[in-house]
Amino acid sequence: MNRARNKTIYALLLLICIIGFWLFENFYTPATYSSKDTSIVKTEILEDLLPSSTTGSVVEHEHFTLSYNEPFEQAEWVVYVLKKEQLTYQDRKRPFFLEDPKVKSKSADWRNYRGSGYDRGHLCPAGDRRFSEQAYNETFYTSNISPQDKDFNAGVWNRLELQVRQWAKRYGSVFVVTGGILEDGLQEIGEEDVDVPNYFYKIVVKGPPERLEGIAFLIPSIESQKNLEQFTVPIDSIEKLTGIDFFQKLPDSEEAELEGSVITQGWKFN
């Protein structure tokens, strides 16, 4: 009699655990990562370097800024500055991915990625924001992620992110704008139809405002062993693919010089 009752209790406990886990997975949302503390020192981004937004949905966080593209359920660009003094290998507890509270249309739920076979690929890398807990956690807003092939994310894309860190260390500071090429006909994942870009771009700029130097990369979203230099393209070519004007506030002559050609001289590759 006791044995039968124990089995019933165990079965009920197991059922409660299963239901609890399902509720946690599907409905639990942690508190926002954005801080209300106005004394926090933000990472300043030069207003003159901000790209145009094709959607008008520009969101500013403490340590990066983005333009959200609702039909594609991801950012069309994410902009951030990486300084030498921000580079650290400090361990951080990996937080939850959650929707960006500053995106009025709501950014995509992370569950769209579950079972899709694609990584939740950071645009502003978490590894570039280890210098504070909040800076690190902010990168886990879903507005800052895009579906990426696992081997691509851990391979050539990671190599480029590591190279950007080396440039920040060498040159003191770099300005970065990055995103996927959002176009019609892309594969979609999840209930919200998050689009999977076939290409990702990254534009890196260094130097004082009066002598800016830029380099741009356009990489197919599959793993490649090619040297990073082989993916360099003029910034103009990325503008044509995206409809984004990346340095719209610069004088026309400076913008043309920065965007019109590929110049790798002055950029040391590892």
Whether residues 1 and 66 share a domain: the answer is no
Q: How far is CA 189 from CA 123, 139, 147, 170, in A?
A: 18, 21, 9, 39
Q: How many domains does the chain have?
A: 2
pLDDT: which is higher, 32 or 59: 59
Q: Does residue 146 sit within a domain?
A: yes
Convert the pLDDT of each residue in 190-212 to its tens digit: 999 999 999 999 999 999 988 99
Domain span holding position 22: 1-30
The Cα–Cα gap between 77 and 67 comes to: 6
Local confidence band at 166 (pLDDT 50, 70, 90 cut-offs):
very high
Whether residues 234 and 254 share a domain: the answer is yes
Q: What is the pTM of this model?
A: 0.87
* Active-site position among 61, 63, 120, 122: 122
- What CATH number does residue 222 fall under? 3.40.570.10
Local confidence band at 5 (pLDDT 50, 70, 90 cut-offs):
low
pLDDT at residue 12 is higher than 80: no
Q: What is the mean pLDDT of residues 13-29?
A: 49
Q: Does residue 65 sit within a domain?
A: yes
Whether residues 113 and 166 share a domain: the answer is yes
Q: Are 185 and 199 in contact (CB under 8 A)?
A: no
Q: What is the mean pLDDT of residues 36-43?
A: 68
122 a catalytic residue: yes
pLDDT of 41: 75
pLDDT at residue 20 is higher than 80: no
pLDDT of 37: 58
Whether residues 143 and 186 share a domain: the answer is yes
Average pLDDT, the chain: 90
Q: Are 151 and 158 in contact (CB under 8 A)?
A: no
No. of helices (H) and no. of strands (E), the chain: 6, 11
Q: How far is CA 73 from CA 94, 143, 197, 241, in A?
A: 23, 8, 11, 18
H helix intervals, 102-155: 133-138, 150-154
